[in-house]
Structure 1
Amino acid sequence: EEHISGRKSVQYIREYQENKSKAHDELEAIQLAKLRKLLVHAAKTCDFYRRQWDEIGFDPSEIQSVEELSQLPILDKDVVRENYDSFVSSSFRGKNIKKTTGGSSGVPFQFELDAESNERRQAVMWRGYGGLNAGLGEKTLYLWGASIAPVGARSELKERLYHAFYNRKILNSFKMTQQNIGSYVEVLNKYKPQAVVSYVNPIVQLSDYILTNNIKVGPPKSILTGAEPLYEFQREKIEAAFQAPVYNTYGCREFMLIGSECERRQGLHVNIDHLVVETVDEQGVAAKSGDVLITDLYNYGFPLIRYRNGDRATWQDSSYQCECGSNFPMIKSVDGRKLDLVKTSDGRSIPGEFFPHLLKDYRNIRQFQVVQHNLDSIDLNVVLHDVAFKQELDHIKGLVEKNCGEHLKVNVNVVENIMLTSSGKLKVVDSKIL
């Protein structure tokens, strides 16, 4: 990181590590100072914020509390797309790193970040992972999305050497199938990682295979999941397969790690020395549970301020103190994406979490997805371990219709597989209703 890549990531890791021992009021003071500095910079160098804040009479240099951010409008992806150039800081134009995320809607979202921001978000990730045996340099296997496009032998060698420097191995979750899944277990057993980091869906599929075939796996010290909501029945299945504790993390491509569990697993510690995280209700008012808004305190190249990332979350009570002693505030649960709702013609909204909770006890269901095209019906697509046993499906159909009301028809379809998103994730609820 320092001598070959010329980055300051290790310096930032030390800085963030020191913050772990700080009192809550010290962390809030750091957050406020960094926020004020970012806002002043954005007003001076970003046309979008300068115009918007002049119009509403907001002076960023006068901000005295993080709560005063509520004076500012919420930022949505479409606004960024339509005003892209005016979000680029004049101080960093042409110097930023450009990134793209697929987005839940399937419409790619582009953004930028400056070099320091890129190094800092890596450092925050290493801090969170470091407490769970997957820190910088610790032997880790990643079951993660990787490039699908073919690469030459030279590029492949360069990639292997790059990951070897960091003492990690990458298994491409995009290429894992029922035909080759056994080879993934073989690689894992041969590599003997200290920790495994994975998308939720692939590690659940791997766990299913291990349990079904009664395969013995050399247990790692820990398994870290991310990129998708982790449900308790999935955690239990992974732990049964690997005989190792599972830790949940929460992040998104625009900001990387937002929060992570500690060894106590009582919620997600939020990185408030790096980000401002808010939750708001449908009216945009601060709420204990609601839409997630994020402000990156260090992305000076392309500031995203009160950015709605499409997720929903619920905070732990402010008085709650984790047994680990950390003073970072905690998210109790990430409640899925805002679009992960089933809506009915009589005005009801059924959270996506309902379906995993209902179906977790049906062992013959290997995978499922709810697709909604209109307000009158949903398709419940299921992949079964054994298609000979379909007798439970009528019972499931009845339970769903009973809980979702008489206005919603449920079509249960047995399918061979369920398509993942372009980023390799499984959408529990794929709503086509805007």
Structure 2
Amino acid sequence: MAARRHHRTGPWIVTDLLLGLYHRLPVAARSAAATLRGYYLRRWRYGADSERLVAEALEREHWSAEQWSTWRASHVAALLEQAATRVPYYRDAWQARRRAGDHASWELLENWPILEKEALRQQPRAFLMSGHGAVFQEPTSGTTGTPLSIGKSRSALRHLYALAAARSRRWYGVLPEDRCARLGGQLVTPLDQRRPPFWVWNGAARELYMSTFHLAEDMIPAYLDALTRYEIRCLTGYTSSLYALAQGVLRAGRVDLRMKVAVTSGEPLVEPQRDIISAAFDCPVRETYGSTENVAAASECESRGLHEWPEVGLIEELDGEFICTGLVNDAMPLIRYRLGDRGRLSPATEQCPCGRTLPMIAGLEGRTSDLLVTSDGRRVFWLNPVFYGLPVRQSQIVQETPQRIRARFVPAPEFADSNGETIVERLRKRLGDLEIVLEPVAELPRSSSGKVRHVIRADNK
């Protein structure tokens, strides 16, 4: 897409005006614009050393615990020293602590306070390392609030994409010549467009980028035809989007859409979704975890172990919440950052049958904002089981007041009144005796990033 370059940064910033101009382009020109942008991004993400970085990443997968401990200690020490002396936000904070008589050492991670997103949102440039060269500015999705702008160095991007090549494409048998499709939240097609194509072809990345905003039941057949026409062998995207697409495959009875792998991201993957996606595309389904802030990342192996990428960041689990320290992005260090995700880390001694020694995440539970508060003050996080085993294609729970819950859902044809009664019963078992409104819909609304928010609290939109 056409865009404007800003001083000292490397991305193309797409404004509303430029996006409108892009949407007026003929279909072929949109794909040409996507391909040009793809070549531009490739210069940031890949270089002459990319294959070496991939090989080194694969080698580290079998390091001993002692090797990882030594590596982590040296990288954390260097990070804390540089952040305390060269990053304006942290430098000012430590100087203020010294003036107040605080002599705590910045060499110990536990002496650093937890960093909230609001601080980063209010003064993003204060987190850029002084003296650093050009950075690539990438916005977060802004699912639960105003997007953040994250500055990344060329070195960080090349390490990240080497890790992705090693621990997703290589693990899953995806070859460089294989064509992939991505269901993402970029507005590659005008929102009000009702006829295909709902995608653009990025020739530089050999990727079909498909809009998540047009996955209505009557439009999904066009998506499936495009997957066949472009000879797609690998699917990636938000879990809810892949699930919606898979349901369309099964409804149509299509058997010509075999993939090597379907890779989910952006939203937790539950077993019923995995089963449907796998059945539709006749392939394994692998879960991945990450964020635009690049302070934590993980991917699932063939043994279904969700392995951390330790090079990206250090994850602390505090009361079920992930607090992360980024290690890969030297341009914008984020230390003890409250990412907003909930999950559980596996014990350090746990070994995966795949033989890799990378640490593991035992489970992902979604965003910390994906919670409901009951009338007696309890905080309830995990509500997916409410819809397990029911003829429901997608669901969303909205807490409108402490006493009223709205359960939106896309029913399958066989949905019956008794299934609605089961939803009400299960919600009351978890939340107490409160008013529950059932709202069957044709499709669920998506956020500005193209994701489906499964839990919404009216006072935390």
If the length of structure 1 is used for normalisation, what is the TM-score?
0.86
| Candidates 56, 61, 75, aligned match of 1:15 | 56
Report the counterpart of residue 184 of structure 1 in structure 2: 223
- CA–CA distance in 2 between the matches of 1:92 and 1:383? 49
Taking a change above 3 Å as real, the CA distance of residues 270 and 359 of structure 1, as seen in their structure-2 partners, is same
Report the counterpart of residue 418 of structure 1 in structure 2: 444
Counterpart of 1:87 in structure 2: which amino acid?
F
Q: Is the 8 A contact 1:372 1:432 kept in 2?
A: yes
Counterpart of 1:99 in structure 2: which amino acid?
E
Taking a change above 3 Å as real, the CA distance of residues 429 and 188 of structure 1, as seen in their structure-2 partners, is same
| Candidates 94, 97, 109, aligned match of 1:69 | 109
Render the CA deviation track for 1:396-417: whole Å, top value 9, x for unaligned.
21332233212x3211112232
Q: Is the 8 A contact 1:138 1:194 kept in 2?
A: yes
Render the CA deviation track for 1:189-209: whole Å, top value 9, x for unaligned.
333433221211111111111
| Candidates 332, 338, 341, aligned match of 2:371 | 341
Report the counterpart of residue 302 of structure 2 in structure 1: 263
| Candidates 336, 360, 364, aligned match of 2:388 | 360
Report the counterpart of residue 119 of structure 2 in structure 1: 79
Counterpart of 2:113 in structure 1: which amino acid?
P
Report the counterpart of residue 25 of structure 1 in structure 2: 66
| Candidates 296, 301, 304, aligned match of 2:326 | 296
Look up the SS of the partner of 2:203 in the other structure.
Answer: helix
| Candidates 317, 322, 326, aligned match of 2:356 | 326
Q: Is the 8 A contact 2:295 2:324 kept in 1?
A: no
* Offset, 1:264: 0.6
- CA–CA distance in 2 between the matches of 1:217 and 1:80? 47
Render the CA deviation track for 1:112-156: whole Å, top value 9, x for unaligned.
122211222222222221211246554322233333466xxxxx9
- CA–CA distance in 2 between the matches of 1:58 and 1:134? 49
Q: Is the 8 A contact 1:196 1:220 kept in 2?
A: yes
Taking a change above 3 Å as real, the CA distance of residues 231 and 388 of structure 1, as seen in their structure-2 partners, is closer
Render the CA deviation track for 1:342-396: whole Å, top value 9, x for unaligned.
1111122222x32x21212111x22211111321121111222339844532332
Report the counterpart of residue 430 of structure 1 in structure 2: 456
- CA–CA distance in 2 between the matches of 1:170 and 1:85? 31
* Offset, 1:320: 1.0
**Which residues of 2 match residues 210-249 of structure 1 at below 5 A?**
210-249=249-288
- CA–CA distance in 1 between the matches of 2:54 and 2:362? 25
* Offset, 1:111: 2.2
| Candidates 267, 274, 277, aligned match of 2:312 | 274
Report the counterpart of residue 380 of structure 2 in structure 1: 350
Question: Is there any run of 5+ residues in structure 1 with no aligned partner, and where?
Answer: 151-155, 282-289
* Offset, 1:26: 0.8
Q: Is the 8 A contact 2:296 2:324 kept in 1?
A: no
Pick which of 190-199 and 133-142 moved more.
133-142
Taking a change above 3 Å as real, the CA distance of residues 146 and 9 of structure 1, as seen in their structure-2 partners, is farther
- CA–CA distance in 2 between the matches of 1:77 and 1:349? 21
* Offset, 1:27: 1.8
Report the counterpart of residue 92 of structure 1 in structure 2: 132
**Which residues of 2 match residues 395-406 of structure 1 at below 5 A?**
395-406=422-433
Q: Is the 8 A contact 1:146 1:174 kept in 2?
A: no
Counterpart of 2:362 in structure 1: which amino acid?
K
Taking a change above 3 Å as real, the CA distance of residues 242 and 125 of structure 1, as seen in their structure-2 partners, is same
After superposition, the CA RMSD in angstroms is 2.5
Look up the SS of the partner of 2:151 in the other structure.
Answer: strand
Q: Is the 8 A contact 1:293 1:307 kept in 2?
A: yes
The answer as to 2:85 corresponding to 1:57 is no
| Candidates 194, 197, 212, aligned match of 1:173 | 212
Look up the SS of the partner of 2:213 in the other structure.
Answer: helix
Q: Which runs of 4+ in 1 moved over 6 A?
A: none
* Offset, 1:15: 2.5
Render the CA deviation track for 1:48-104: whole Å, top value 9, x for unaligned.
1123234143444xx4xxxx42221011111112333321221127x2211211323
Q: Is the 8 A contact 2:269 2:287 kept in 1?
A: yes
Question: Is there any run of 5+ residues in structure 2 with no aligned partner, and where?
Answer: 1-38, 191-196
Number of aligned residue pairs: 404
| Candidates 77, 82, 93, aligned match of 1:41 | 82
Pick which of 77-86 and 329-338 moved more.
77-86
- CA–CA distance in 2 between the matches of 1:170 and 1:84? 29
- CA–CA distance in 2 between the matches of 1:149 and 1:25? 50
- Percent identity, aligned pairs only, is 27
Q: Is the 8 A contact 1:42 1:89 kept in 2?
A: yes
Pick which of 251-260 and 220-229 moved more.
251-260
Q: Is the 8 A contact 1:42 1:300 kept in 2?
A: no
Counterpart of 2:253 in structure 1: which amino acid?
N
Q: Is the 8 A contact 2:186 2:450 kept in 1?
A: no
Look up the SS of the partner of 2:69 in the other structure.
Answer: helix
Pick which of 120-129 and 228-237 moved more.
120-129
Look up the SS of the partner of 1:133 in the other structure.
Answer: coil
* Offset, 1:217: 3.0
Look up the SS of the partner of 1:111 in the other structure.
Answer: strand
- CA–CA distance in 1 between the matches of 2:183 and 2:419? 32
